[in-house]
Amino acid sequence: MLGLDRVKTALEALGHPDADIPVRVHIGGTNGKGSTAAFVESLVRHSGKRTGLFTSPHLSHFCERFTVAGEIVSPAAVVAAAEQVDQIDSNQLTFFEQVTLIALCLFARARVEVAVLEVGLGGRLDATNAVWADVAAVTGVALDHQTYLGDTLAAIAYEKAGIFKAGQRAVIGRAGEPEAVPLLAAHARNAGVSALTIVAESTPGAEPVEAEAIGLAGLHQRDNAACALAIIDHLEALGAIAADRHIRRVGLASTRLPGRLETIASSPRVVVDGAHNPHAAATLRRAIERFSRPRILLVAVSSSKDLGGILAPLLAGVTSVIAARCRYARTLPATDIVSAVRQIAPTMDCSEASDVPTAIERACALAGPDGTVIAAGSLFLAGEVRQIVCGDPTDPIRVSDPMDIGQSASDPHRST
């Protein structure tokens, strides 16, 4: 049964490691929450505070989910925190609930001053929502995870806005559908937040965020950076940090986050991006316009996703498509993707590959030295491509989140 009681009980049994973290920031949203969290962590760290960042999923190895002071936590530290969690009765906790507790134990042990927690899925019933946060932000709302969150923007906004609590400072970003913004604002006010910033509305005196001044590629990252800056404003108002113009400039420029419109090779250019829902795919479609042709789309999509909604915008911007199936168990068969491509764009050059390494080799050959390969449709694909092209380290035993948010920790497959 879904709910926060298990996590709250576990936190109490652990002696409330969350209470040992002086300041906490909670970030949810359909798209952009990971990028916004990365911006906030960089900004806070450059202000001189010791930071902790908890994100999901990981691309290549489990420890990526946890960073302290901008560095990925060591496997030994993660194991020690996991053993601490195992000392309580954790058998009934879901995988993500256990991972959230590991993050809090890690940050408490590391004497983190400001922790940034990214929502795993939804918000209202997400394990991270068992923790009080001084500032909570929803980057925006679009259609995704409808099986779990509802079929309408209103239903999804309700779940996302569930992270807003009485007395908190709150931020609503502009990385989603505009019609969801007033819904989120109404929920925030009904929750009794103490202060609310709506980034979608013009803020008097606010400086525009220039794409060239931030460390993550794509014009859409300006929206995420603006949301992060609004969070920083609230942290300053609380007296938690001091971030002048120089710190803000350096913090934004220094932000890094793999797998988000990331160029990982040249000749041909290889770009990886999650783009795992229609809204994210449309954003990627606009971004790839500046990439050289031929543009080859290497695509894999999880079975729970809106395949047609993801493919439709991307097909309009590419020359050829190669469908593949990731090692992730819940990825759609390549034949299903090929069938969907042929329905949407009957004349599109489209083929399937037996695995991702074969797909990369074929895509690079089609692109030639001057073209572009775009790997998209799943963060699991982004991670696998990075492992092959960049040589990223991987876990000896593959670990990922069970898809069913009600599954126990014994289920090894959950996608966020």
- Give 316-342 as a DSSP string: TT-SEEEE---SSTTBPPHHHHHHHHH
What is the mean pLDDT of the segment spanning 82-90?
88
Tens of pLDDT, residues 369-388: 999 999 999 999 999 999 99
* pLDDT, greater one: 327 or 127: 127
Residue 169 phi/psi, 5-degree rounding, is: -95, 140
* pLDDT, greater one: 203 or 144: 144
For 254, the token pair is 């220094």
Residue 322 phi/psi, 5-degree rounding, is: -125, 120
Residue 355 phi/psi, 5-degree rounding, is: -160, 175
Residues forming a β-bridge with 351: 322
Cis status, amide bond into 57, omega within 30 of 0:
yes
Residue 178 in this model has a pLDDT that exceeds 90: yes
Residue 402 in this model has a pLDDT that exceeds 80: no
What's the sign of the alpha-carbon dihedral 163, 164, 165, 168?
A: positive
Tens of pLDDT, residues 187-198: 999 999 999 999
Tens of pLDDT, residues 67-79: 999 999 999 999 9
How many angstroms separate the CA atoms of 163 and 133, rounded? 9
- Is the separation of the CB atoms in 66 and 52 below 8 Å? yes
- The counts of H helices and E strands in the chain are 14, 14
pLDDT at 1: 56
For 101, the token pair is 């507790």
pLDDT at 395: 81
Tens of pLDDT, residues 53-70: 999 999 999 999 999 999
Q: Nearest CA to 321 among 266, 283, 359?
A: 359
At 207, is the pLDDT very low, low, confident or very high (cuts 50, 70, 90)? low
What is the mean pLDDT of the segment spanning 198-210?
67
Place of tokens 């001084």: 134
At 394, is the pLDDT very low, low, confident or very high (cuts 50, 70, 90)? confident
Residue 336 in this model has a pLDDT that exceeds 70: yes
How many angstroms separate the CA atoms of 281 and 196, rounded? 29
Residue 414 in this model has a pLDDT that exceeds 60: no
pLDDT at 322: 98
Cis status, amide bond into 402, omega within 30 of 0:
no
Mind listing the domains of the chain with CATH numbers?
Answer: 5-253 (3.40.1190.10), 262-390 (3.90.190.20)
Q: Nearest CA to 24 among 163, 124, 185?
A: 163
- Give 255-318 as a DSSP string: ---TTSSEEEETTTEEEE----SHHHHHHHHHHGGGSPSSEEEEE--BTTS-HHHHHHHHHTT-
* pLDDT, greater one: 92 or 356: 356
- Is the separation of the CB atoms in 313 and 280 below 8 Å? no
